[in-house]
Structure 1
């Protein structure tokens, strides 16, 4: 009986943790999916995520409105994406090198401006209780979700549908698969990639706002823990499919929640190893991605990793 109760506790803790932890993964991976669908890689989303977290927390603290913080974080992320997109359209510029530079620039800028907001407590985002129908506190806690999680689900569905059924989606996919074909259709490749990178940065900025204003719900310099970089591996794992990005984000989130879930039932020895599960998954995905014929099937043809 005790084993069953322990298993149930871990299960509900992982469900709750997966919903919380997956949300930043979801927004960053959707942003990267859109950017890569246009034929560009943006490794700078780690810096965008961190700067979005800092700016959202600062605005929430200064104005008392966490939702205004989310909007400002998205706009800041869009500016980072626009800078990345502008630099990458210059001749003989490598998008991966630019992404690394933008990652360092974003994190450094966030640490510089964010030092004053490490201690103060800012208003946090609210949650929605989807478990109101249950008398079980574990069920209610597991189904206590933030509205941004629901927005991310809708966004994944819209992107998936848009890529398959709209002219705009066709333009983005054609630009990512073959620049000459896009040019033959009269598409301005640089403009499409610039806009896709900017919008992708907006999504990543919103993901950062979730980190600082909901879970963990504070601003510290180690807040991101590399989630922006892991999102790149997540997109490869999802085969550049927005719906699969949602499933992969939940998987990464559940892996990240495994350590705290085990702690909740008193297992403290070795739980740090389980906290490393998302990083081990990222390493495994990148190792498997060495084989272009197998692991990069379905990748946009214009990506630098496919050439």
Structure 2
């Protein structure tokens, strides 16, 4: 049975499958960046955190035989990167953007250096749940073979949406993101809040990296990321700093990334490769559409600034 047995239904099916597979790293990285930015800090270093998390997860899984220990190792590494970033950024006259770029390069370089011994060994993969067992079509079965981290990401988005509105921690995060003076008036230290938020954001971004190396594509190499960490910043802006918006935007980006393979799966042999650029074109369109010198972005934390 080949990829054209279900005809043109193969295109939306392939896009659905791709949206699920490709969106999972976006979900975790965007939720992590959303938490960081809601505290009033931007972190452009998540691309390095994502790649280092992928390496840490894969190496740990190879050595221990447990993919879940790999995910925990990635979270620990990502939190460490976030703490370093947050600690440096608390000093006066330090630019968040410059530190983020430096941390990105540091994470990429360190991952490539430490990860060379793990390029060849095979690591156990994260489990998935076969929701497509009701169908006799292997394409549907493959499309609905959903990784556990995707489901966790959905639950996390809903949990964060509720927590930001209804918990004291959510209130503290929002106050720090809107006004440092208001946070201090409440007896809070905005630098500490942003430090912890950046650490949590880094941990979540690293989970996205663990998904890349331990499930899809399911290997470790130096080209494992395609800029998801950087695109997450645009995605958070598009989502208006809303966790559920991050989830929907991640699915949109995932579906855009699946256009090329979807067309190829139904026999389109020319031009389909142009659609591989869809996520990057979408990122560019979002950045242009949301840029304006005369109006502020709805939902943007007031303390969030590109410069200090």
Aligned partner of 1:245 in structure 2 is: 246
Give 1:143-158 correspondences, 5 Å limit.
Answer: 143-158=144-159
Which ranges in structure 2 are unaligned for 5 or more consecutive residues? none
Q: Which moved more, 1:67-76 or 1:284-293?
A: 284-293
TM-score (norm 1): 0.96
Aligned partner of 1:93 in structure 2 is: 94
Q: May I ask how many residue pairs the two structures share in their alignment? A: 306
Tell me, yes or no, if the aligned pair for 1:48 and 1:204 is still in contact at 8 Å: yes
Give 1:122-271 correspondences, 5 Å limit.
Answer: 122-271=123-272
1-structure distance, mates of 2:116, 2:135: 42
Aligned partner of 1:43 in structure 2 is: 44
Deviation by residue 1:254-296 (Cα, 9 ceiling, x = unmatched): 0011111111111121122100000001111111222155572
TM-score (norm 2): 0.96
Tell me, yes or no, if the aligned pair for 2:97 and 2:306 is still in contact at 8 Å: no
Pairwise CA distance, 1:143: 1.2
Aligned partner of 2:76 in structure 1 is: 75
Query: Which secondary structure state, in structure 1, belongs to the residue aligned with residue 158 of structure 2?
Result: helix
2-structure distance, mates of 1:29, 1:7: 32
Change (3 A) 1:294 1:257: farther
Deviation by residue 1:39-88 (Cα, 9 ceiling, x = unmatched): 00000000000000011111111111111101100110000000001000
2-structure distance, mates of 1:148, 1:295: 34
Pairwise CA distance, 1:167: 1.1
2-structure distance, mates of 1:181, 1:294: 24
Change (3 A) 1:17 1:294: farther
1:278 is aligned to 2:279: yes
Tell me, yes or no, if the aligned pair for 1:289 and 1:295 is still in contact at 8 Å: no
Which ranges in structure 1 are unaligned for 5 or more consecutive residues? none
1-structure distance, mates of 2:110, 2:296: 35
Change (3 A) 1:303 1:292: farther
RMSD: 1.7
Tell me, yes or no, if the aligned pair for 2:131 and 2:146 is still in contact at 8 Å: yes
1-structure distance, mates of 2:274, 2:72: 36
Query: Which secondary structure state, in structure 1, belongs to the residue aligned with residue 126 of structure 2?
Result: coil
Query: Which secondary structure state, in structure 2, belongs to the residue aligned with residue 17 of structure 1?
Result: helix
1-structure distance, mates of 2:294, 2:256: 28
1-structure distance, mates of 2:215, 2:224: 12
Give 1:293-304 correspondences, 5 Å limit.
Answer: 293-294=294-295, 296-304=297-305
Query: Which secondary structure state, in structure 2, belongs to the residue aligned with residue 121 of structure 1?
Result: coil
1-structure distance, mates of 2:303, 2:284: 24
